[in-house]
Structure 1
Amino acid sequence: MLSHKHEIFMEVARLLSFTKASQSLFISQSAISKQVKALEEYYKTGLFERLGNSVALTPAGKMLYEKMLLAKQLQNELYHEFKQLSENFSPQVNMVLGASTTISLYILPPVLSAYLQKNPNVQLTLKNRNSENILKALLDHELDLGIVEGISKVSNVTYTPFLTDDVIAVCSSRNPLKKMQLEVKDLYDIPLALRERGSGTLAVLEDALERKKIRLSELPIKIRLGGTEALKNFVRVDTCLSFLPRQAVLKELESGELVEVPIADLHVRRSFNFIQRKGTENNFPYKDFIQFTKRHYSKMA
């Protein structure tokens, strides 16, 4: 098992900041510095070079960080093998997840609660980012496991299907569009409010429109907003049409605040996938969490 000092070192090395590591680990900055200093005394060399408000890894620090990443993977493999031998084996582990807005806000909370009740020794951290940033964070070892929309062609990442969701056109209940039956060509004349670049929701919409020979760049996009909640709040009070995940607007559709606007022959469906760095597919607790989550939602289907 990795020592507490090494776990702290890895977080400082990952973030290249004592302050950010303190915030991430919920440990005082002085305690962080004390643990890193103890490691430097143990190895008889400096691990970080202090550069004003930031830090950089020394050659020794880089070597130690690379070895610790390998050690952590071996530790997870060992945990998995022991878990196979004994169901009672329940080590204290930390797992950092990354998921897009729809998954973070509307899909994961119930399953996280159920999973933690069954696995009290697992500590979870969930980071809400768009799909593009989740993939980058995974490759940078900032995340252990991600859930993204669609599949990017990245050779060193494994994709495991999770679930599907529709992206639908919606407008305010006060918008005259709510009574209209639209066709795809009508989008050339309707002001749109959409998500920011890098959003998985935007990517699947763009793909669906391209299949209809329509370029998103040719449409009257009035505003782009970062995040589903910001987009929902804007559309509630504006005359723009927007495209949002059905899972994200279920309550607003039920209350009548937002109205679904059918568009003939335009069907936008997206798939969510778990992503992992290749080589970690069978590691505990990643495999266990994926299986638990898929079972949880298959029972609800």
Structure 2
Amino acid sequence: MLDFRIHTFLEVCRRKSYTKAAKALHITQPAVTQHIHYLEKEYQAEFFDRNARTLTLTGEGRIFYWYALTMESNSRKIYKLLEQAEKPCRQLRFGATLSIGEYVMPRILGDYLEEFPGDKVSMLVENTESLLKKLDRGEIDFAVIEGKFRKDAYAYSLFSNERYIAVCAEDHPLSGEKVSIDELLGYPFIIREKGSGTRDIFEAILSEYSLKLDQIRKVSEIGDFQAIKYLVERGLGITFLYEMVVRNEIREGKLKEIAIENYGATREFNFVYLKGSILEEDYMTFYHFCQSRMTPA
């Protein structure tokens, strides 16, 4: 059982307020203060900067926060393991970003469930930012994500490296042309929503070329790959996506890769979970199964 004072500490971190944490936990604010003081005395550290205008974790507080998240997650998992002790199946709850959930995992999950028909699998498909929040809260066990994340805060293994390319309609003015990345900015773009790994990577690539999103002539934000591809096929804009997302459309001649001078970006997909998880061995068993099914298309 997790110490109730650690629950209080995590609630304060999530709410960024003693008062709001007290309300959420149905206890008094002095009780919250007492719990935090107890933990600070126990671990001989100050967790919050009391001179800051807003409630801010100290360096020691950030370290404690990440380990407290793992303790909370492990506590939940112990209860679930005990509930399932008499059951022969495993249960996997994980998240995947849209690119991975739609274009990588279906075949892998099909093979997995054929090989382990008694296991239960639950896959949540959301953007990177949302999945990391759910991982922190223990709502999922691990996530396969793209884009930026704090590598010092999580345990992770490289899942794959994927080409990240620009595409346009077959009859677009850029089709068959070789251009600089600056020249693309004069055309309308259709991109993913803020918070998605695909969007983060696009903005990071622009930054590598000392460019910014607001330099693009027109930007439309769409949260669905099928919609993005349809609009690009109609000639309503260009986009950057992973090659695997548009492979079939390129093969069928509906979309064309735009040749860009001095460009050859690849980006990582990563398998991410909380450090120190008691189920790390199970997660890595699934990771290695995925790797055994990752064959080039």
TM norm structure 2: 0.69
- Cα deviation for residue 69 of structure 1 reads 4.8
Give the equivalent residue in structure 1 for 2:203. Answer: 206
1:215 aligns with 2:212: yes
Going from structure 1 to structure 2, the CA distance change for 1:242 and 1:300 (only over 3 Å counts) comes to closer
Give the equivalent residue in structure 2 for 1:73. Answer: 77
Going from structure 1 to structure 2, the CA distance change for 1:183 and 1:300 (only over 3 Å counts) comes to closer
**What is the correspondence of 1:22-171 to structure 2 with a 5 Å cutoff?**
69-74=73-78, 91-153=88-150, 155-171=152-168
Distance 2:88 2:79 in 1: 11
Going from structure 1 to structure 2, the CA distance change for 1:206 and 1:71 (only over 3 Å counts) comes to closer
Task: In structure 1, give the amino acid aligned to 2:106.
Answer: P
CA contact under 8 A between 1:171 and 1:242: conserved in structure 2? yes
Task: In structure 1, give the amino acid aligned to 2:111.
Answer: A
- Cα deviation for residue 193 of structure 1 reads 1.3
- Cα deviation for residue 209 of structure 1 reads 1.9
Distance 1:185 1:205 in 2: 14
In the alignment, structure 1 segments of 5+ residues that lack a partner are: 1-55, 60-65, 83-88
- Cα deviation for residue 90 of structure 1 reads 8.2
Task: In structure 1, give the amino acid aligned to 2:258.
Answer: V
SS at match of 2:191: strand
Distance 2:278 2:74 in 1: 15
Going from structure 1 to structure 2, the CA distance change for 1:103 and 1:289 (only over 3 Å counts) comes to same
1:225-276 deviation line (CA, Å, top 9, x unaligned): 1122221111111331111110001110011111111111123221000110
Going from structure 1 to structure 2, the CA distance change for 1:230 and 1:281 (only over 3 Å counts) comes to farther
CA contact under 8 A between 1:167 and 1:201: conserved in structure 2? no
Give the equivalent residue in structure 2 for 1:191. Answer: 188
Going from structure 1 to structure 2, the CA distance change for 1:242 and 1:150 (only over 3 Å counts) comes to closer
Going from structure 1 to structure 2, the CA distance change for 1:260 and 1:157 (only over 3 Å counts) comes to same
Aligned length: 231
Task: In structure 1, give the amino acid aligned to 2:248.
Answer: K
Task: In structure 1, give the amino acid aligned to 2:238.
Answer: L
Going from structure 1 to structure 2, the CA distance change for 1:194 and 1:253 (only over 3 Å counts) comes to same
Distance 2:198 2:107 in 1: 22
In the alignment, structure 2 segments of 5+ residues that lack a partner are: 1-23, 28-69
Distance 2:211 2:145 in 1: 25
- Cα deviation for residue 121 of structure 1 reads 2.2
Going from structure 1 to structure 2, the CA distance change for 1:204 and 1:67 (only over 3 Å counts) comes to closer
1:138-166 deviation line (CA, Å, top 9, x unaligned): 11111111011134126442121100111
SS at match of 2:185: helix
SS at match of 1:179: coil
CA contact under 8 A between 1:90 and 1:121: conserved in structure 2? no
Going from structure 1 to structure 2, the CA distance change for 1:67 and 1:104 (only over 3 Å counts) comes to closer
Going from structure 1 to structure 2, the CA distance change for 1:269 and 1:91 (only over 3 Å counts) comes to same
Give the equivalent residue in structure 2 for 1:10. Answer: none
1:174 aligns with 2:179: no
Task: In structure 2, give the amino acid aligned to 1:150.
Answer: G
- Give the superposed CA RMSD: 2.9
**What is the correspondence of 1:251-270 to structure 2 with a 5 Å cutoff?**
251-270=248-267
CA contact under 8 A between 1:194 and 1:221: conserved in structure 2? no
Going from structure 1 to structure 2, the CA distance change for 1:179 and 1:69 (only over 3 Å counts) comes to closer
Q: Which has the higher strand share?
A: 1
CA contact under 8 A between 2:72 and 2:138: conserved in structure 1? no
Give the equivalent residue in structure 2 for 1:26. Answer: none
Give the equivalent residue in structure 2 for 1:290. Answer: 287
Going from structure 1 to structure 2, the CA distance change for 1:196 and 1:143 (only over 3 Å counts) comes to same
TM norm structure 1: 0.69
- Cα deviation for residue 283 of structure 1 reads 3.3
Going from structure 1 to structure 2, the CA distance change for 1:269 and 1:93 (only over 3 Å counts) comes to same
Select which of 228, 233, 243 maps to 1:231: 228
Give the equivalent residue in structure 1 for 2:268. Answer: 271
- Cα deviation for residue 109 of structure 1 reads 0.8
CA contact under 8 A between 2:74 and 2:278: conserved in structure 1? no
Displaced runs of 4 or more, over 6 A: 56-59, 75-78
